[in-house]
Amino acid sequence: MNDLTRRGFIFSAATLAAYGLLVGVQRACRSALASDKSSKANSGPVQIETFSDDGTRIGLQTENKIVKSDSEWRKLLSSDEFDVTRKADTERPYTGAYFNNHDPGLYRCICCGNALFSSDTKFDSGTGWPSFWAPIAKENVSTSLDLSFGMRRDEVTCTLCDAHLGHVFDDGPKPTGLRYCMNSLALRFMPRAKS
Ligand SMILES: [Zn+2]
């Protein structure tokens, strides 16, 4: 095993160990998370940038927030998608559809279709989760302080429907220095048609 491989292995092992701890804590705290997120949702209008599926910016639009009950969301989502987006669960690293996706295209919210990220800002973070250094438009995602599980993190949600997407960290690449660490299960990829 050369040094680089060993380092990669140690990093992966550390990531998996940290994830295992996180999942254990999450499972234990699942009942504490049972509070319905939609109950605190503000249904007031929000401004979002809209994009066509080929990534062309259409413009800023004012839309009413999408608010649904858990049972309504369950009808629209798989159980894994529901657990991540509506209950702030985390998918296992290296298992999602998009951590290793390098195709050009647009990533929309799995819940409401809001445009969230472009392949133009995607980078390989080595974490096993799809990672971006910026959202497609600052209006389209919201961040809030997340103190759950004894950690201090910035949660990232969809501005239009409050779906939990993942977290943002300040150890990303230039030009922003940010790492939006997302769950594939919260995203739907729209491949850019080849011209
Ligand atoms: Zn959404």
Domain count, the chain: 1
Residue 124, domain member (yes or no): yes
CA of 161 to the centre of ligand 1 (A): 4
Residue 165, domain member (yes or no): yes
Taking 70 as the threshold, does the pLDDT of residue 56 lie above it? yes
Residue 10, domain member (yes or no): no
Residue 31, domain member (yes or no): no
Residue 70, domain member (yes or no): yes
Which entry of 112, 158, 161, 181 is annotated as an active-site residue?
A: 181
The reported pLDDT for the residue numbered 193 is 80
**What tokens were used for 106?**
């647009």
Token pair 């550390």 in the structure block, residue: 14
Which structural domain range is residue 81 located in? 49-191
User: Contact 192/106 with Cβ under 8 angstroms?
Assistant: yes
Q: What is the CATH number of the domain that holds 53?
A: 2.170.150.20
Lowest mean pLDDT of 6-10, 72-76, 163-167, name the range: 6-10
Residue 145, domain member (yes or no): yes
Residue 180, domain member (yes or no): yes
Give, rounded to a whole angstrom, the gap between the first and last alpha carbons of the chain.
Answer: 44
Residue 86, domain member (yes or no): yes
The reported pLDDT for the residue numbered 43 is 73
Q: Give yes or no: 181 in active site.
A: yes
* pLDDT tens per residue, range 15-52: 555 565 555 555 444 434 444 444 445 678 999 999 99
Q: What type of residue is 110?
A: I
